Chain A
Amino acid sequence: MRVWKFGDDIDTDAIIPGRFLTIYDPAELAKHAFEGTRDEFAKEAQEGDVVVAGSNFGCGSSREHAPLALLGAGVKVVVAKSFARIFYRNAVNTGLLPLVSAGADSIRDGETVTVDIAAGYIEVNGKHLVIEPVPGFMKEIVDAGGLVAYAKNLDEVKTCSTE
């Protein structure tokens, strides 16, 4: 799986600019992914490619068009040193797997990586980089295949009291 490497603080305007937000189809959104900041991504990204970034990936807007654009481009996994909160939730909810790895910086653009989620590591150049486990309740959503699939099996939810 080819690596598309990005730096720190990659924001949602970079992933999908505001002028494309009337589009909802992932394949159509993918045509504009990283438009203006990394134009070759939309042309060359292949099914199964992996986006690797530094810290705070997906900062900015709550637009779910961002994970959808990556999914539309065939990306199923994003590995970063850290994620912005809303993007992280949006990714989990839509079925894009956000993996946190302190070793993300050592992965280079164009390298080939293998992600072994069950074993908890990424293999690159024969080295194993540890990925952090998906936290608590989110694991149930990931295992269900996203929040839509999770919700389909629910009639009602139990809420905690806020009193």
Chain B
Amino acid sequence: MLFQAEGVTVCMVILESADWADRQALLDSLMRASALAGRVNRTYLVIPRSTASIVDARVFQGIGIGLFTYDQRNVEEALPARYFEAKEHAYNATASPLSTQLQTELHELRIQFDSLESIVRQLKEELASVREARTPGGVVRAVPQPNSAEAIGLASGLPGFLTGNPWVEVLSRRGREENTIAG
């Protein structure tokens, strides 16, 4: 992802959590980030916050690449990127094909999105007709969501392994009888 403002170009190479598990994808991203240093003014690697602890930041600090971490709520700059004088021609030379490629990808994505939208609409209609057929009164019961805390309150009856277990009787007499075998 490229940003341009006030004559400064910043490139962000974003790593998804899934990429993190794929050694090849990880290496590709690191190589891409490394190759961009000098072609843009600042280069950042953007990594999931949960994986940040296993990154040795000194390596990135050494080559001037910065680090952003993100989770579902925040994006933070963990390590600032060093400023490089960018060779403008190098960037411009690559800008055009990059832009064309992005436009093509955007177009393909739009087609896929339209197709998915139509499928979802169709599924919604089918679901509505099934609901109507199965609930003559038109009443649909809500399915309770699993929740560990709620489960405690909702659980009824005791677990099956307690049923018929002779120890329940033996142990319930503890403290009310003398035992001669205890070691």
Answer whether A and B are interacting partners. Answer: no
Interface of A toward B, CB cutoff 8 Å: none
Interface of B toward A, CB cutoff 8 Å: none
